[in-house]
Every structure is written in C-alpha cells, then in structure tokens.
Copies of this chain bind each other. A is one copy, B any other.
Amino acid sequence: MATRSIKEVARLARVSVGTVSNVLNRPEIVAPATRARVFDAIRELGFVRNEVARHLRVGRSRTVGLVVLDVANPFFADVAQGAEALADEHDTMVVLCNSGTDPNRERRHLDQLEQQRVMGILITPVDAGSPRLADLAARGTPVVLVDSAATGLQCSVAVDDRLGGQIAAAHLIEQGHRRIAFVGGPPSIKQVADRRAGAAGAVEAASGVELLDASMPMLSAAAGRAAGERVAALPPAERPTAAFCANDLLALGFLQAMAACGLRVPGDMAIVGYDDIDFAAAAAVPLSSVRQPRELLGRTAVELLLEEVAHPERHRHRQVIFQPDLVVRESSALRRRD
C-alpha cells in the first residue's frame, strides 16, 4: 500500500517523470539542483524503484536461475556460492531452485523461470536429453548445463566424469581389490552414468576384476545406507571388498552402514566417494574422494551465461571441461595382505 511510484516523486519534486527516471539512470545529465530536489523527494517518500516495471520496459532481467539436483548436497551449495559470487559482481541475483532429481519439479521450475523472463538458466538436469531445454533456448532463454557436458546446442561446464570414475576404480584395483561395487543413483543422470562408465573402463582394462552394481534410486546418505546394508548382507565370499560411490553423500551413508553391520573400513571394505565435499574429510573414517572444482563450476557457468547474453549474435557455444583428481584418505588406504 505504501508503495510510492516515480510519479509521486515527480509531483513532490515538481519535475516530470522523465526527469526522475533520468536521476535514477543517468544522474549526470540532470542539473545538480534538480537532482538534489529529486533525491530529497525520494528520501522523503521512501521511494523504492519497481524493478518489475523496469524489467517489463527494458526487457532484460537481472536474475539468473540455477536449478540443482539437491540443495541439501553441499556440493551444490558450493556450486551455488561460486555462481553467486560472480553474479554479484554483475549486480545479478541467483535464484536457487531444487529439483530433487524429480523431472516434474524440474519442469515446474523451468516453466516458472521462463515465465519470469530470467536472463538465463544454469541447470544440472535430471535428464540432459530432455527437449524442454532445447525449447527454452529456441524461445530465447539461454541455458548453460552445469556439471554435465552439452553437445553443442548450448554452453556447458563440466568435470570429466569418465576420467573421475576411471581414476577412482584404478586406485581401488591398484590396492588389490578384485570385486568392486558401484553405488550409483538414477541412471538417467548423466554424471552417474559417466562415472560408472569410467569405472567400468578401468575394470575391463585390468584382468580378473569385477564391477558389481549396487545402485539406488536416490543420491542421498539414506540411499547410501540402504545400499551398504544390502552389500553387507551378502555372504562374505560374494561380497565386494571395495565400493565406489557416485557421490559423497552415498559414500557417507555407505560408511555408516558398514559401521552398523560391523564391517571395518577400509579393512573389510574400502570406500571411495565423489565430489570431495568438506564433510568427507571429517567423516568417521576420512573418506577418499574424487575432487571437483566446485565453486569454479558455478562461477564459470555464470561467466558463460553473461558472455552469451552480452553478445548473442557473435556467441558460439562452448563446452568447458575441468579435470578431477583423487584425494586418497584412510577409507581406501592400502589393503592388508592376509
């Protein structure tokens, strides 16, 4: 109710609305005395510029959407922080949306963001192949894939997940493990599939090594616990001696299940996680993990988006790929020969 408009400011300062607008946007072209009068009026009325009207008129929004698979996963919190840091430098807001790996929630968020006419969308999609994403781009909302490589239709920032899966598995093989469980998530998620493929590659390259699948429909600690219980329940002869988990939440849950079932880590079960979230190092058994440049992912995604928005005509989509590396901690320390 107490919302003042530019018109009321104009009346109080005895100038036209055009002048008030000029004071707001190009104060240097307004005579100092007038400018001061307008500022006084603004202060007196407690005027706050209506960004909605401004946006409607100029057609450009100052917010970008970031749709992630799971806000509760510190990995995405860090990506978001990186994104926000750079956006902030450009006076831009980041709207963080959580799809929770549910394609319907993802679609709803995309619909809303498009209706809001955001400047662009950064997304870690549940299903990167979805035509919805191509539609968005075609209708004029730039899209940047985060943590998932694109195929030329849009920009993307990603980490080489096959390589990550490969070095994780290779490390476990080198430690002498011959039966390795892969604890993944929904297979539609590209990162999961790639990490698995990388691990499978390393397993095939070695001889006499098996990769067992113990994937769950979710990427949470609870899912990791469930997977751990299932694996622990196997007869010792069939049980893998190591697990490679598609992310650290799964790995932490898996680790807890091992403790609960009386299996020692790394003695009975070595574990390697993925993402190297801060909590991995603080776990009951410090967790080996494949590290990704989290903030940098977010920051670079915003960078690509701003680039595309600034020069839509001469823009060429780019795929930025970072290299992961393995951080070895106690959870996969050298296996005792028995």
Contact = CB atoms under 8 A, between A and B. Distances in A.
B112 A93 contact: yes
Contacts of A53: 56
B221 A278 contact: yes
Interface string A123-164: 000000000000100111000000000000000000000000
A139 B46 contact: yes
Interface stretch (A95-103, A176-184, A299-307): A95-103
Contacts of A139: 2-3, 46, 48
A81 B48 CA distance: 30
B84 A98 contact: yes
Interface in A210-248: 221
Contacts of A135: 46
Contacts of A115: 48-51
A297 interface: no
A162 B146 CA distance: 42
Interface string A272-310: 000000110111111000000000000000000000000
Interface stretch (A69-77, A196-204, A263-271, A317-325): A69-77
A63 to B, nearest CB: 8
A314 to B, nearest CB: 15
Nearest to A93: B112
Contacts of A50: 56, 115, 117
16 contacts: A2-B138, A46-B135, A46-B138, A50-B115, A50-B117, A52-B56, A52-B61, A52-B117, A53-B56, A63-B116, A71-B77, A72-B77, A93-B112, A95-B95, A252-B282, A279-B279
Interchain residue pairs A-B with the least CB separation, the first 3: A51-B115, A96-B96, A279-B279
